[in-house]
C-alpha cells in the first residue's frame, strides 16, 4: 500500500499540518525527506514520491512537532504557502441580475418553478436588526414598523437564506397541462393550503421549496431551488454538493459582512436542529484522492481516482457543530439561542437533516484525532469550491 498524504494549510497564517499515512506496512528504517514541492518516503523495499500540486510550497526547514499517531501516521507541522483561487463561487445575489432572463428549477428534481423570467428589480432585503437600528437612530417612531417588504410584479427580493418573488411571476412549466390549468391562477395549485398550510412544495417531487408569505408573495429557500440564466442549459448537481455549497456561501457571507461565526440552524417550524461555529474559511486541503474524505463521495456521486499518488486540492471551511435533535445539550442550546448572539438560519426540516448527515459524513472521513474538540464534533472539511458557474 502506498503512502497517503493529508495536508491542511491555513492560507492567511501560512501554516501547514501534514499527516503522512500508509507507513504501517513498510519495513524499517523509513527515511522521509521533505522538499519544497514533494515528499519522499524511502524504506528498504520501496520508495514513494508524493509531488505536491504546483500551487503548494512547503518550507522544509520549519518542520516541527513531529509525532506518530497510531492508526493515522506521522503528524508534522511546518510553514507552507498555497496560492489557490477561491473566486469560483457565485452567490445568488451575484447570479441574479436585472434585465436578464432566469429560470428557477426545483433543485431536487429539476422541475421548472419560474420560467424565463426577467426581473426589473433585484434588491436585498433589510437585515433582521434593521428596525431596531431605525428606532435607535430616529427621533420619531419607526415609520416602517409592522410593514413588510413584499415584491411587486417583476421584483425579486433577496434575504439571507431565501428570496421573495411575486406569484404573478411564477408559472407552470410550458407544455405541462393538467387539471391545474383549470384553476384561476396556476400558482395556487403549487401552494398547499393546509398549514402547514403555507408550505410551497414542488409539484413533481413534493420537496418543500418555501412558503407562501402573503396572497401574492412566495418565499423560496435558496437551498431548494437552482437559478440559471435561461440561455444556459440546466445541469444537474448532486443534492449533497448543492446543499454544501449553498451553506458555505451563507456562512462566508455572514462571517465577512457581519463578523458572525455562530449559527443556530432551525427548521421552518422553529425546531432547532444544529449549532454551528465557523472557525475559519481560509483552509486549503490537499489530500490523496483514495484516502479519507473521498470515501464519503459515494454519497454525492463524485468519482475519485484509484491512484493513491494523485492529490486533490480543495478550499475548505472548518467548523464545529452539535446536532440538537435529541436535546442532549439543553444549557448550551439555551445559551446560544439567547446569549451569544448566534444568528438563526432557517431551512426546510429536510434540508436541516441533510446538513446534519453531510456534516456527520465529513466528520467520519477525518483522521480520528481531528474529529472532536471538547464536546464538539470537530467537522472538517466543508468544501468552498463547489463550482456553480454556468456551463
Residue ranges that bind Zn ion, judged by CB under 5 A: 106, 108-109, 111, 202, 204-205, 207
Decide whether 2 or 110 has the Cβ nearer to Zn ion: 110
Decide whether 196 or 375 has the Cβ nearer to Zn ion: 196
Pairing mode of beta strands 155-158, 208-214 = unpaired
Decide whether 82 or 208 has the Cβ nearer to Zn ion: 208
Question: CA 35, CA 141: separation in Å to the nearest integer?
Answer: 66
Decide whether 243 or 311 has the Cβ nearer to Zn ion: 243
CA 145 to chain centre: 33
Question: CA 264, CA 343: separation in Å to the nearest integer?
Answer: 6
How would you write 218-252 as a 3-class SS string? EEEECCCEEEEECCCCCCCCCHHHHHHHHHHHHHH
Rg of the chain over all Cα atoms, to the nearest angstrom: 24
Closest approach, Cβ 34 to Zn ion, in A, equals 50
Closest approach, Cβ 234 to Zn ion, in A, equals 13
Closest approach, Cβ 108 to Zn ion, in A, equals 5
Decide whether 23 or 111 has the Cβ nearer to Zn ion: 111
Question: CA 323, CA 226: separation in Å to the nearest integer?
Answer: 27
Closest approach, Cβ 58 to Zn ion, in A, equals 47
Ordered strands of the 112-118 beta sheet: 112-118, 101-106, 225-229
Closest approach, Cβ 226 to Zn ion, in A, equals 10
Dihedral angle computed from the Cα positions of residues 194, 266, 89 and 252, in that order, rounded to the nearest 10 degrees: 150
Closest approach, Cβ 205 to Zn ion, in A, equals 3
Decide whether 133 or 205 has the Cβ nearer to Zn ion: 205
Amino acid at each position: 500500500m502506498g503512502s497517503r498524504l493529508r495536508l491542511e494549510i491555513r492560507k492567511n497564517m501560512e501554516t501547514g499540518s501534514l499527516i503522512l499515512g500508509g507507513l504501517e506496512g513498510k519495513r524499517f528504517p523509513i527515511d522521509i525527506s521533505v522538499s519544497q514541492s514533494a515528499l519522499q518516503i524511502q524504506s528498504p523495499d520501496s520508495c514513494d514520491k508524493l509531488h505536491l500540486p504546483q500551487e503548494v510550497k512547503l518550507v522544509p526547514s520549519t518542520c516541527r512537532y513531529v509525532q506518530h499517531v497510531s492508526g493515522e501516521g506521522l503528524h508534522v507541522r511546518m510553514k507552507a504557502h498555497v496560492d489557490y483561487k477561491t473566486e469560483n463561487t457565485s452567490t445568488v445575489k451575484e447570479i441574479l441580475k436585472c434585465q436578464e432572463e432566469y429560470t428557477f428549477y426545483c433543485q431536487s428534481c429539476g422541475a421548472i418553478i419560474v420560467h424565463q423570467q426577467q426581473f426589473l428589480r433585484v434588491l436585498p432585503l433589510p437585515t433582521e436588526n434593521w428596525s431596531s437600528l431605525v428606532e435607535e437612530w430616529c427621533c420619531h417612531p419607526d415609520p416602517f414598523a409592522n410593514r413588510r417588504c413584499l415584491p411587486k410584479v417583476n421584483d425579486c427580493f433577496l434575504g439571507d437564506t431565501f428570496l421573495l418573488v411575486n406569484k404573478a411571476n411564477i408559472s407552470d412549466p410550458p407544455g405541462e397541462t393538467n387539471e391545474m390549468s383549470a384553476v384561476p391562477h396556476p400558482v395556487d395549485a403549487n401552494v398547499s393550503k393546509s398549514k402547514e398550510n403555507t408550505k410551497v412544495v414542488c409539484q413533481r417531487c413534493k420537496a418543500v421549496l418555501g412558503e407562501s408569505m402573503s396572497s401574492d408573495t412566495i418565499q423560496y429557500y435558496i437551498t431548494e431551488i437552482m437559478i440559471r440564466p435561461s440561455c444556459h442549459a440546466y445541469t444537474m448537481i448532486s443534492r449533497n454538493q448543492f446543499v454544501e455549497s449553498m451553506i458555505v456561501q451563507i456562512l462566508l457571507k455572514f462571517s465577512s459582512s457581519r463578523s458572525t461565526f455562530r449559527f443556530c440552524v432551525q427548521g421552518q417550524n422553529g425546531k432547532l436542529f444544529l449549532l454551528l461555529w465557523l472557525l475559519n474559511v481560509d483552509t486549503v486541503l490537499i489530500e490523496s484522492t483514495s484516502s479519507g474524505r473521498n470515501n464519503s463521495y459515494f454519497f454525492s456521486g463524485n468519482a475519485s481516482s484509484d491512484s493513491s499518488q494523485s492529490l486533490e486540492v480543495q478550499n475548505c471551511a472548518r467548523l464545529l457543530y452539535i446536532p440538537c435533535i435529541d436535546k442532549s445539550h439543553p444549557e448550551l442550546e439555551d445559551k446560544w439561542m439567547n446569549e451569544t448572539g448566534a444568528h438563526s438560519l432557517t431551512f426546510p426540516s429536510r434540508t436541516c437533516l441533510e446538513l446534519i448527515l453531510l456534516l456527520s459524513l465529513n466528520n467520519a472521513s477525518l483522521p480520528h484525532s481531528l474529529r472532536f474538540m471538547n464536546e464538539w464534533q470537530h467537522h472538517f472539511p466543508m468544501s468552498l469550491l463547489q463550482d456553480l458557474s454556468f456551463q
